[in-house]
């Protein structure tokens, strides 16, 4: 995030895009609700009527994958109405005139035609965003898990840059990070293109620095993404794989392809807390300790570096992840660099090699209130990025075009399927599925479908249906609800033992990030008889229309 979480409650305007915050980031959503209570405007851009819309000044229910058309139209309104911050644009950005010209065809009428959001509402939202003193953008997977994910994000950056809403309190462009320590994983170099501290692997200065520190030559080439690695497992270029903390078989798109990839490997290692579907395919399984069973550090969504502390002993042979990796590495290389005695030594090495962590140590992160960059030991941290200037010079405005999703409804597959999360379950349910309480809240999967679509298909609430895409098919119950718009259905992926949702999802990726288009697949839906064996008697499910428990 460019800004810190507590600031959100002082925003004057919040633009929440493709983020089902009350279910997926409930703690952050509390700040949004507080801001609304203090009088802030809230606009929600999401195809579905998610619980956050209950608090919204306006809900823009756009068609799947049409964000660029919508945000370009908003940018044009802002410029045409004279609401752009010209001083900021001149001082801190480049390409304003080019953007203005590029946006000429992106009228609000065109925006309406592509996104389905009424032109008037697009205009209202644009004016509210541009006229607010501090307007923050918050987004999550609804815009990144598309073949146009990068363009989607850049179209939001354009809005922030032309209105000067980047670099001060309660504004910014804020991706809410997904898993608890996904930010920390990136910080420590678990990315194909960076050393720890986001230092590029193809930068000779960084290469020299890490060669000196680690005493071995660095590979000067960027690595590949997981998506590419699975493809290479199929084509035989990759023979062995080590999967740490991921249930890849269940959570990657196109399960048939993933299964083939993992089965093609000569050697698979899985490091997990549980014997997951992925771990069952492994030659070696390393039992990992849970976050409550280890000492270490996590970096959260707003870049605050925090200690985690051991509260219980791990069961059986389970060991901390860093310990397992270091011990295998030591046996492979006999390199003394892997002789860490504790997680603090790992942290100190990270800080010594990464300028953004240079001013941190275990004492300084004791209270967990410092956001990186923290370049020196007496530095107070940087809760707000880009204050006064951008690190890389000027903010470049991007000339973006609308690109439709890679699959769109046709006669054979007449519905859009979008997938995501529900509050009581976490991803493949390996963890939440082990708790009885969660099972009461969400006992099984269901397909969320609009009443008009259900009627056309002869479906009644609780009926069983077959959802089929170009990749394969699954069977699940249906829940009739107005949460999803007509023509678009929704499923989670939390019950793989019954409904392997990712059999049907679309493996097409954004060409820059190789993030799959989990958010759009074309599917057909037909009513089927209840399968024997599965949930035999009464259809079990929680009612999705029940009020948001966080209301009020």
Ligand X SMILES: Nc1nc2c(c(=O)[nH]1)N[C@H]1C(S)=C(S)[C@@H](COP(=O)(O)OP(=O)(O)OC[C@H]3O[C@@H](n4cnc5c(=O)[nH]c(N)nc54)[C@H](O)[C@@H]3O)O[C@H]1N2
How many residues sit in the footprint of ligand X (CB under 6 A)?
A: 54
> Minimum Å distance from CB 379 to ligand X?
30
What tokens were used for 539?
Answer: 């259809």
Residue 476 site contact among Mo ion, ligand X, none (CB < 5 to 8 Å, cut-off depends on kind): none
The footprint of ligand X on residues 196-255 (CB under 6 A) is: 244-248, 251
What tokens were used for 173?
Answer: 């462009």
If the CB atoms of residues 62 and 365 are measured against ligand X, the closer one turns out to be 62
The residue whose Cβ lies closest to Mo ion is 178
Q: Site for ligand X (CB under 6 A): which residue of 169, 421, 482, 527?
A: 421
The whole-angstrom separation of Cα 123 and Cα 54 is 21
CA 106 to each of CA 119, 322, 472: distance values in angstroms, whole numbers, following the listed order: 11, 50, 37
CA-nearest of 273, 286, 280, 290 to 331 is 286
The whole-angstrom separation of Cα 544 and Cα 260 is 35
272 binds ligand X (CB under 6 A): yes
If the CB atoms of residues 61 and 253 are measured against Mo ion, the closer one turns out to be 253
The footprint of Mo ion on residues 57-86 (CB under 5 A) is: none
Q: Site for ligand X (CB under 6 A): which residue of 116, 118, 178, 472?
A: 178
Considering Cα of 30, then 34, then 37, then 42, what sign does the dihedral take?
Answer: negative
If the CB atoms of residues 237 and 434 are measured against ligand X, the closer one turns out to be 434
If the CB atoms of residues 237 and 260 are measured against ligand X, the closer one turns out to be 260
Helix, coil or strand: residue 54: helix
How many residues sit in the footprint of Mo ion (CB under 5 A)?
A: 1
Q: For residue 373, say if its preceding peptide bond is cis, omega within 30 degrees of 0.
A: yes
φ, ψ for residue 448, nearest 5 deg: -85, 125
Contact map string, positions 117 to 156, toward Mo ion, x by CB under 5 A: ----------------------------------------
The footprint of ligand X on residues 16-55 (CB under 6 A) is: 17-20, 23-24, 45-48, 50
Q: Site for ligand X (CB under 6 A): which residue of 9, 187, 302, 321?
A: 321
Burial 3-30 (b: 16+ CB within 10 A, else e): bbbebbbbbbbbbbbbbbbbbbbeebbb
The whole-angstrom separation of Cα 323 and Cα 154 is 39
Considering Cα of 176, then 178, then 180, then 183, what sign does the dihedral take?
Answer: negative
Contacting residues for 212 by C-beta, under 8 A, at least 6 apart: none
178 binds Mo ion (CB under 5 A): yes
If the CB atoms of residues 55 and 493 are measured against Mo ion, the closer one turns out to be 493
Q: Site for ligand X (CB under 6 A): which residue of 43, 195, 493, 495?
A: 493
Helix, coil or strand: residue 290: coil
Owner of token pair 């024997």: 532
423 binds ligand X (CB under 6 A): yes
- Judged by the rule CB under 6 A, the positions of this chain that interact with ligand X are 17-20, 23-24, 45-48, 50, 62, 64-65, 67, 140-143, 145, 178-179, 244-248, 251, 271-274, 276, 288, 290-291, 321, 418-421, 423, 425-428, 430-431, 493, 501-502, 505, 518-519
């Amino acid at each position: 995030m460019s800004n810190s979480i507590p600031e959100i409650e002082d925003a004057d305007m919040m633009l929440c895009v493709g983020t089902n915050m009350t279910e997926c980031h409930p703690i952050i959503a509390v700040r949004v609700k507080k801001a609304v209570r203090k009088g802030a405007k809230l606009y929600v851009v999401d195809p579905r009527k998610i619980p956050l819309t209950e608090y919204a000044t306006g809900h823009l229910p756009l068609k799947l994958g049409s964000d660029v058309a919508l945000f370009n139209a908003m940018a044009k309104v802002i410029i045409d109405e004279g609401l752009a911050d010209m001083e900021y644009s001149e001082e801190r950005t480049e390409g304003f005139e080019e953007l203005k010209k590029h946006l000429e065809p992106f009228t609000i009428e065109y925006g309406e035609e592509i996104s389905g959001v009424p032109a008037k509402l697009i205009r209202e939202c644009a004016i509210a965003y541009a006229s607010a003193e501090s307007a923050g953008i918050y987004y999550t997977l609804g815009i990144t898990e598309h073949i146009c994910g990068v363009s989607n994000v850049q179209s939001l950056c354009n809005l922030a840059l032309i209105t000067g809403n980047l670099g001060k309190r309660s504004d910014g462009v804020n991706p809410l990070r997904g898993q608890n320590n996904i930010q920390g994983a990136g910080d420590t170099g678990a990315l194909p293109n960076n050393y720890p501290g986001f230092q590029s692997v193809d930068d000779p200065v960084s290469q020299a620095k890490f060669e000196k520190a680690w005493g071995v030559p660095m590979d000067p080439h960027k690595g590949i993404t997981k998506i590419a690695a699975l493809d290479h497992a199929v084509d035989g270029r990759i023979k062995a794989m080590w999967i740490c903390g991921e249930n890849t078989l269940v959570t990657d798109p196109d399960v048939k392809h993933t299964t083939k990839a993992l089965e093609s490997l000569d050697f698979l290692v899985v490091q997990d807390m549980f014997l997951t579907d992925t771990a069952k395919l492994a030659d070696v399984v390393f039992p990992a300790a849970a976050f409550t069973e280890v000492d270490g550090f996590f970096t959260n969504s707003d870049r605050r570096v925090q200690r985690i502390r051991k509260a219980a002993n791990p069961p059986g042979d389970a060991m901390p992840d860093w310990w397992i990796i270091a011990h295998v590495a030591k046996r492979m290389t006999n390199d003394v660099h892997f002789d860490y005695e504790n997680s603090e030594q790992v942290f100190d090495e990270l800080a010594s090699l990464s300028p953004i962590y240079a001013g941190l140590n275990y004492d300084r992160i004791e209270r967990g209130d410092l956001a990186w960059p923290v370049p020196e030991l007496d530095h107070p941290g940087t809760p707000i990025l880009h204050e006064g200037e951008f690190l890389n010079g000027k903010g470049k405005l991007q000339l973006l075009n609308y690109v439709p999703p890679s699959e769109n409804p046709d006669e054979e597959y007449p519905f859009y399927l979008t997938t995501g999360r529900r509050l009581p379950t976490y991803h493949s349910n390996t963890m939440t599925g082990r708790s009885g309480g969660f099972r009461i809240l969400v006992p099984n999967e269901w397909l969320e479908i609009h009443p008009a679509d259900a009627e056309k298909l002869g479906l009644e609430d609780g009926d069983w249906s077959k959802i089929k895409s170009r990749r394969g098919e699954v069977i699940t119950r249906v829940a009739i609800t107005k949460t999803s718009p007509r023509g678009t259905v929704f499923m989670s992926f939390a019950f793989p033992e019954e409904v392997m949702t990712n059999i049907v999802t679309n493996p097409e990726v954004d060409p820059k990030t190789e993030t799959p288009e989990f958010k759009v697949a074309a599917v057909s839906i037909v009513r089927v008889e209840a399968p024997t064996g599965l949930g035999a008697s009464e259809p079990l499910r929680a009612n999705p229309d029940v009020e948001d428990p966080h209301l009020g």
